[in-house]
Structure 1
Amino acid sequence: MFEFHGWAVLYYHTYDNTETLEEAALQKLLQWISNLRCIPDRKALDFVNIQRQNGQICLTMPGLFNHRSVFVIDIFKGIAVIMPGSYGLLYIHDEEDDKGEIDYSNEFVVWKLARGNLTLEKDPFLSPCIPLMEDPFNRSRVDI
């Protein structure tokens, strides 16, 4: 299972907030996202929610897939480049992420977005998933 939950407040710059420039950057970001390769029969924009609240542009992105989908991280990479004043977090739990130098299959990883940088961070809240959130597998368990 590939689980992700992301949010970001979108700004085209770290100090300037000219509405026309911000809107142009948002449209550029949305166009860029619409060109991303996604899962079959779906568009990347189907997983992105944009809301304007109190003068801010907020993006949320929840989802559960059977397997890893790199477009999820790519969206946050695009935000970092196109709207570098943005900030947010992308939480990912990938049960199949055990092939690299570090086995992340039992933990969430956090992608931190701030000042045009996207960095991988260790999750202090929900990891390790077993036993913090789920019980270990037990063959003798009988569900009633």
Structure 2
Amino acid sequence: MFEYHGWINVQESAGADDSADGDVLLGRISETIGARIREIDSPGLLDLRWMNGELFLHLGGFRNHSDPEVVDFFGEVGRLAPGSYGVMHVRDDEDRGHENEVRVLRMVRGRVHEDVERALSPCIPVLEEPYPG
């Protein structure tokens, strides 16, 4: 089982930029991310939209097997827009050594760092009861 939920505030840089050039660049980044979303064509949630003048990406899904493309895409957005920040939680029971954890990917200034989400791990017994046996 592979479950993921996240969001990114897509920013072309970490500095304040209200210029027309900044808007054009962020518009191009939006087009590039939108094209990648269409390429991925995931049955999960990949929603890119403008809200109050800011660009946000929301991700979510629940699949039978691991989908490394969605995790790679999370990092790709940071490389395209190095001022971006956000989080994504991933639970992957096929990830050896991490099958009983929820992992959190934190994006700060476009760079992704991964760690255990302590509030949701270990999955058994925090989220689910142990299997009878």
TM range (shorter): 0.7 to 0.9
- Report whether the alignment pairs 1:11 with 2:39: no
Question: Which of 118, 122, 132 is residue 116 of structure 2 equivalent to?
Answer: 122
More strand by share: 2
2:29 to 25, 39, 42: 25
Distance 2:48 2:37 in 1: 12
CA, structure 1 residues 46+121, in 2 after alignment: closer, same or farther (shift >3 Å)?
closer
Runs of 4 or more consecutive aligned structure 1 residues displaced over 6 Å after TM superposition: none
**8 Å contact from structure 2 (residues 100, 122) kept in 1:** yes
* Cα deviation 1:5-55 (Å, max 9, x = unaligned): 01111111111342222111111222234334xxxxxx1486311222222
1:106 Cα deviation after fit: 0.7
Structure 1 partner of 2:50: 52
- Return the TM-score normalized by structure 2: 0.88
**Structure whose CA Rg is larger:** 1
| Length, aligned pairs only | 129
SS in structure 2 at match of 1:48:
strand
CA contact (8 A) 2:10 2:84 kept: yes
Identity among equivalent positions (%) equals: 30
1:64 matched residue in structure 2: 62
| Cα RMSD, aligned residues only | 1.7
Q: SS state of the match for residue 13, structure 1?
A: coil
Using structure 1 for the length normalisation, give the TM-score. Answer: 0.82
32, 38, 55: which one pairs with 1:34?
38
Long gaps (5+) in structure 1: 37-42, 140-144
